[in-house]
Amino acid sequence: MCSFFLCQTGKQAKISMGEENQTFVSKFIFLGLSQDLQTQILLFILFLIIYLLTVLGNLLIIILIFLDSRLHTPMYFFLRNLSFADLCFSTSIVPQVLVHFLVKRKTISLYGCMTQIIVFLLVGCTECALLAVMSYDRYVAVCKPLYYSTIMTQRVCLWLSFGSWASGALVSLVDTSFTFHLPYWGQNIINHYFCEPPALLKLASTDTYSTEMAIFSMGVVILLAPVSLILGSYWNIISTVIQMQSGEGRLKAFSTCGSHLIVVVLFYGSGIFTYMRPNSKTTKELDKMIFVFYTVVTPMLNPIIYSLRNKDVKGALRKLVGRKCFSHRQ
Kindly report, residue by residue over 126-180, the tens digit of the pLDDT: 999 999 999 999 999 988 989 999 999 999 999 999 999 999 999 999 999 999 9
Q: Which amino acid is at 196?
A: E
Query: What is the domain extent for residue 185?
Result: 25-309
Q: Of the candidates 179, 184, 173, 192, which has an alpha carbon nearest to the alpha carbon of residue 7?
A: 184
Task: Indicate the pairing of strand 107-109 with strand 189-190.
Answer: unpaired
- With respect to residue 15, please indicate whether it lies within any of the assigned structural domains: no
- With respect to residue 255, please indicate whether it lies within any of the assigned structural domains: yes
14 DSSP assignment: E
- With respect to residue 5, please indicate whether it lies within any of the assigned structural domains: no
Question: What is the longest distance spanned by two Cα atoms in the chain?
Answer: 81
pTM of the model: 0.84
- With respect to residue 192, please indicate whether it lies within any of the assigned structural domains: yes
- With respect to residue 213, please indicate whether it lies within any of the assigned structural domains: yes
Q: Is the pLDDT of residue 1 over 60?
A: no
Q: Report angle CA 53, 62, 290 to the nearest 5 degrees.
A: 45
CATH number of the domain enclosing 38:
1.20.1070.10
- With respect to residue 107, please indicate whether it lies within any of the assigned structural domains: yes
Confidence bin at 207 (pLDDT 50/70/90)? confident
- With respect to residue 328, please indicate whether it lies within any of the assigned structural domains: no
Q: Is the pLDDT of residue 46 over 60?
A: yes
The chain-wide mean pLDDT, for the chain, equals 83
Task: Determine what percent of the chain is predicted with pLDDT higher than 90.
Answer: 41
- With respect to residue 4, please indicate whether it lies within any of the assigned structural domains: no
Region 279-308: what's the mean pLDDT?
79
Higher pLDDT, 282 or 212: 212
208 DSSP assignment: -
Q: Report angle CA 237, 243, 246 to the nearest 5 degrees.
A: 105
State whether residue 189 is helix, strand or coil. strand
Q: Report angle CA 155, 87, 95 to the nearest 5 degrees.
A: 155
What is the number of domains present in the chain?
A: 1
Kindly report, residue by residue over 8-27, the tens digit of the pLDDT: 334 333 334 443 446 777 88
Answer yes or no: are the C-beta atoms of 120 and 194 closer than 8 Å.
Answer: yes
Region 98-127: what's the mean pLDDT?
92
Task: Determine what percent of the chain is predicted with pLDDT higher than 70.
Answer: 86
Confidence bin at 5 (pLDDT 50/70/90)? very low
Q: Is the pLDDT of residue 233 over 80?
A: yes
Answer yes or no: are the C-beta atoms of 302 and 58 closer than 8 Å.
Answer: yes
Answer yes or no: are the C-beta atoms of 270 and 173 closer than 8 Å.
Answer: no
Question: Exposed, middle or buried by CB within 10 Å (0-12, 13-18, 19+), for 221?
Answer: middle
Residue 88: predicted pLDDT: 95
Residue 157: predicted pLDDT: 96
